[in-house]
Amino acid sequence: MLLPEWTEKVQKRGLDPLGLQNSGVILYQSLVPGISNVTLRIRYYGLYCWASEAYAREVGSTDPVEWRTWVRRLEALHALVASHAGGENGVAGVEWAQKRLAKGDDPVDFEEGSSTRSDAERYLAQSMGVFGQAYLSQMIELGLFSGGANHGIPVRSERGLALAKAFAASIGPGLEELIAARIGAASVSRQELEELAPILPSFIGDGVERDLYVELLFATHEDVTPSDLSRRDTLRLVLLTARDESKRPNSGDVRRRLFSPSHAVPAELEPQRLRWEAYQAQDMWQVASAALLRWAISIIDQFDDGRSLPEIHEEVSLRLLDRVAGGARRTWSEFADGVDTDEVALEDRFRRTSASRTAPEDAGILAVEQVGALEKRVRDRPDLEAEIVRSFQLAGGGRSIRSELLWLQDQRDRPLAEVVADLVTQRVVRRHSWVATQKLRRQRDYTFLFEARDGRLAYRSQYEPVPTTPRLDPAITFLNDIGLLARTGCTPLGLSAAQRPA
């Protein structure tokens, strides 16, 4: 499985030009709370809980600068250990560590690499490292950390203390002392890097530490919250997917399986599966809408003087009639009722509309079919329709599959070409102009993909549809880290967690 590399510059693949992605992001955050797309290995949770306890013991200062130095030195040391050992994915700073170790000196000084100086060759640019950038918010969600009572330093909770002690017991007092000493000196020998390998994410063994991770993820502790139960149910669905497919799944495997109501799950997990189906329908819709935007932009780009909204409307209508058999005689409802709503067809359109190699007009026609198929699927499935109403709010002017379905309800008996042309110009082109204007006004970000000039729209840049990434790959890695998943699917421990009664 490929995981994102930690680098100092993060490329943004999408800017949500229609404001449609956010609704799906909010939903998937509630489906996998405590894990994010940048929390790549579960043992960081134990490492940071230990770091909080060790800092209080070794340093004890309430100065946030001292805490920042401690965290950054720990992360730089951790990266050096991982790079020296090799084969350790998902560790922050390994690119820097590889370059640092390639210099060949022994011992290895990492004071500069862990500094915050802009002119230094740093392991990571973010001031509070990957701890502040990625992990702290999720550890607060899990009840492992809380804010400092009288200072700005995050502090491990009582639950975090139990995990800190378990991590310490796993590595032993000798390595505890060695880590603290190397952090203090900001220097480590190559022999010590080898000795420190047991602190790495892949070294979780049988024992209390792993048991606490299982307890944390599957909400077997006291005082569980609705978020804990939501995470537990999602992880159980992941494990059941692995069991049924006899392999360690990837996020695509899980998404496809949870999208289909024909794959039976235990009754207590069906509400969570249905929420995942609603999320997937939303993501398919936002990708289809983005493909319509891409089509409209390509039409604008085909004319030297750009296009006005009425001209875009006419172009879309004429091109649709040319591409869709019998389009001139069909209403929107007649078209939608004839589109294949099978999961395989929906997934194929989802893949092709988001593929850059698909020509903009071809992707646009596929997007029209996808919108029709999704509308029919929701209309035929009262349970899915009710979940979409529960999961997506209309307040605040946000857009989602729910708001777009409501618009389409009033278009069912109108001619197909008119509905699609209105969809592109009113719900896509105008919507992008509004979203880009709000970003310019509120964030000073110029994200217009076309510009208005004398009543016409002139091409500025193209946009590629981007599916959202709902935290499933890190969740799968977490389950693999603690021995619940293997290459062949669920382990016995994983089966036990998957079948645990609600």
Q: Which residues pair with 486 in a beta bridge?
A: 489
pLDDT in tens, 412-421: 999 999 999 9
Q: Do 199 and 63 share a structural domain?
A: yes
pLDDT in tens, 462-474: 999 999 999 999 9
Domain boundary among 203, 234, 253: 203
**What is the total residue count of the chain?**
502
The structural domain count of the chain equals: 3
Apex 72 CA angle, 71 and 74, nearest 5: 65
Q: Do 150 and 132 share a structural domain?
A: yes
Which has more pLDDT, 398 or 472? 472
Report the first-to-last Cα separation within the chain, whole angstroms: 30
Specify if 150 maps to a domain. Answer: yes
Q: Is the pLDDT of residue 9 over 70?
A: no
pLDDT attached to residue 198? 98
Phi, psi of 464 (to 5 degrees): -105, 130
pLDDT attached to residue 2? 33
Q: Is the pLDDT of residue 492 over 80?
A: yes
pLDDT attached to residue 446? 94
Specify if 35 maps to a domain. Answer: no
Q: Do 416 and 337 share a structural domain?
A: yes
Specify if 54 maps to a domain. Answer: yes
CA distance to 49, 233, 308, per residue, from 159 (Å): 9, 21, 60
pLDDT attached to residue 222? 83
pLDDT attached to residue 146? 87
Q: Is the pLDDT of residue 11 over 60?
A: no
Q: Is the pLDDT of residue 149 over 70?
A: no
Q: Residue range 219-225: average pLDDT? A: 89
Q: Which domain holds residue 159?
A: 43-203
Q: Residue range 371-395: average pLDDT? A: 96
pLDDT in tens, 153-209: 999 999 999 999 999 999 999 999 999 999 999 999 999 999 999 999 999 999 999
**From start to end of 338-444, where are the E strands?**
none
Q: Residue range 255-268: average pLDDT? A: 94
Q: Do 139 and 116 share a structural domain?
A: yes
Q: How far is CA 199 from the centre of its chain?
A: 26
Closest CA to 182 of 263, 111, 259: 111
CA distance to 245, 331, 474, per residue, from 249 (Å): 8, 41, 12
* Res. 494 pLDDT band, cuts 50 70 90: very high
Specify if 161 maps to a domain. Answer: yes
Specify if 19 maps to a domain. Answer: no
pLDDT in tens, 94-113: 999 999 999 999 999 999 99
CA distance 121 to 7: 12
pLDDT in tens, 290-309: 999 999 999 999 999 999 99
What is residue 231's DSSP assignment?
A: H
Q: Do 256 and 156 share a structural domain?
A: no
Specify if 442 maps to a domain. Answer: yes
Quick one: 22 exposed, middle or buried, by C-beta within 10 A (0-12, 13-18, 19+)? Answer: middle
pLDDT attached to residue 398? 85
Peptide bond into 107 cis (omega under 30): yes
Phi, psi of 362 (to 5 degrees): -60, -45
* Res. 499 pLDDT band, cuts 50 70 90: confident
Q: Do 314 and 451 share a structural domain?
A: yes
Q: Residue range 366-395: average pLDDT? A: 96
pLDDT attached to residue 147? 66
Q: Do 295 and 183 share a structural domain?
A: no
Helices (H) and strands (E) counted in the chain, each on its own, are 23, 8
Q: Do 494 and 440 share a structural domain?
A: no
CA distance 363 to 384: 26
Mean pLDDT of the chain: 94
